[in-house]
Structures are given as structure tokens and as C-alpha cells.
Amino acid sequence: MTSTELARAARSHPLAILPLGCTEQHASHLPVDADTYQVERLVRDGARLARERHAVEAVVLPTLPYGPAAEHFGFAGTISVPSELYVGLVKHVLMSALDSGFDRLAVVRGCTGHWVVPGALWDLKAEARRASRMVTIHDLTMETDYRELTKKHLPAAGGGHAGAMETSLLLAGRPELVDADAIVAPTLRSFPERYVDAGEVFLFDEATSTGALGDPSAASAKIGDVLWSDLIGRFADRLKIVAEQDRALGRM
């Protein structure tokens, strides 16, 4: 969209959504931009479906391709932005959207490693209020949906980084970038004992033999297609709820 189109669009108070991607190792079988691809497709296709299904409007910002990925330190292809820099980056992108006239903002975290993002959103909310700007900010991360859909469609294999869920989504969407010969179950080293029970902060190369935290063997393009359609449908429905709530507050 052009600057003029965006200024005009902002006047009808659409939700401005920022998809947060990252570039990090996804074992030996998935491309390093797996999370960026997934979050961008979810948000774009979900926003399109929300318009068709619910007449709800959204403007999708360009996806941020880099984020904090320190936990993947040591694996080639990982590009990590320090958390303190990333908080500033996310806040300034969203503040720029505010400066352009958008007053309903959302982010979707495409990676479990985006731990610092919720804090940045609360800071921004308080800063906007301090400047007497009324704004609604939404964290529309689909973590619960991913978990529920994994349980439903891959009950035995489960999810996990570069596991069956993610591998299925990539096999369905971009099969040419999946190295099928490298799809193997990882050996996890004391994972539940050290990292779950004892709460140890870990780097992936200490915890897994391949970089994956789940077994990707059960993945298929067929399951991936079903997962995509469920995820995109759920995201579109969530945009409807957001619009209803913001409308009730008089923001649209």
C-alpha cells in the first residue's frame, strides 16, 4: 500500500497486525525461516478470511524476520537479536503505526522464544496512556490453538520445535524446502529432568541431538493441509472477537 492509502485506511480503524518471525535452526530438515513463513501465512491468510467471513478489516505490517534466538546459539543459520534491542525494535515499529493513525494494534509471536514481547506491549500501553493516546493492543499469539490442534491431529507424535506439527505445516506449504531424508527423531538429553523439573535454562545443542525437540517422523503434507485450514480459520474467528471487543469500547 502507498502512504496515502495507509493514511486513508487508518481512518476506518482497522486492526494493524505485526507478525513476528525469526531466523533460527529447525533441525536438519526444515529451513531456518520456518517460523517467519508460518506466522506470515497465518496472519495474511487469516486476515483475508476474516474479511470474507466476518467483514472485519485488518492491515498486515511486513513480518519481522529476525528476533531473539539465543537458545539456538551454536547452530549454523541462527540469527539472534539481543532481547533488549528487540524490545526497542518492536515498540518503535508499533509506535510508528500509532504515528500513522492506527489506534488498534496487534502482534502475533511466531516463535516460542519471543518471551520479551508481552513486557514490551505493556510498556507501550502505559507509554501511550501517559501521552493521552487511547489505544488497544492485542497479543494474538496462537500458542493454545497450536497445542490443541497438535493434540487433535497428531496425538501420538505431539509438537515441539521442528517436530511433527511444524514439519507437517512446512510439507504442506513449502515441500521443496524440506529435506525429507533428514527427518529423524532427536535424542533428547535429560530433557524432562533438567529443563522441565529443575527449570534449567538451556541451549538447544545441550538438550537435543538434532536441534528438534519433537519427533518429526509422523509429519505429512496431508495433516499439514488440515492444520493450516484449522489454524487460519481460528485466527480469522479471533479477529472477529477482537473487532467486537474494540467496537464495544467505542474504538471503531
Q: What does the binding site for Zn ion look like in residue numbers (CB under 5 A)?
A: 34-35
Q: What is the CA radius of gyration of the chain?
A: 19
- For residue 59, give every residue at least 6 positions away whose Cβ sits within 8 Å of its Cβ, in sequence order, or none: 1, 6, 9, 10, 14, 15, 16, 17, 102
177: β partners: none
- Is residue 79 a contact partner of residue 66, using CB atoms and an 8 Å limit? yes
Q: Using the minimum distance from each CB to Zn ion, give the nearer residue, 72 or 104.
A: 72
Grid cell listed for 106: 496487534
Q: How far is the CB of 156 from Zn ion (least distance, A)?
A: 20
Residue whose beta carbon is closest to Zn ion: 35
Minimal distance, residue 166 CB to Zn ion, in Å: 5
Residue closer to Zn ion (CB basis): 35 or 40: 35
Q: What is the DSSP letter of 163?
A: S
Is residue 162 within 8 Å of residue 34, measured between CB atoms? yes
- 114 or 138: whose CB is closer to Zn ion? 114
As a whole number of Å, the end-to-end CA separation of the chain is 21
Q: CA nearest 240: which of 63, 94, 61, 46?
A: 46
Residues 127-146: b if buried by 16+ CB within 10 A, e if exposed: ebeeeeeebbbbebbbeebb
Nearer to Zn ion, 79 or 137 (CB): 79
Amino acid at 48: R
* Closest distance to Zn ion from the beta carbon of 34 (Å): 5
Question: Of all residues in the chain, what percent are helix, strand and coil, respectively (each to 5)?
Answer: 50, 10, 35
Nearer to Zn ion, 49 or 69 (CB): 69
Q: Give min distance, CB of 113 to Zn ion, in A.
A: 9
- Rounded least distance, CB 140 to Zn ion, Å: 17
Tell the smallest beta-carbon distance from residue 157 to Zn ion (Å): 15
Output 14 or 21, the one with its CB closest to Zn ion. Answer: 21
CB 57 → Zn ion: shortest distance, Å?
Answer: 29
Pick the closer one to Zn ion by CB: 46 or 214: 214
Helix axes 221-248, 143-153, angle to 10 degrees: 150
H or E segment to which residue 227 belongs: helix 221-248
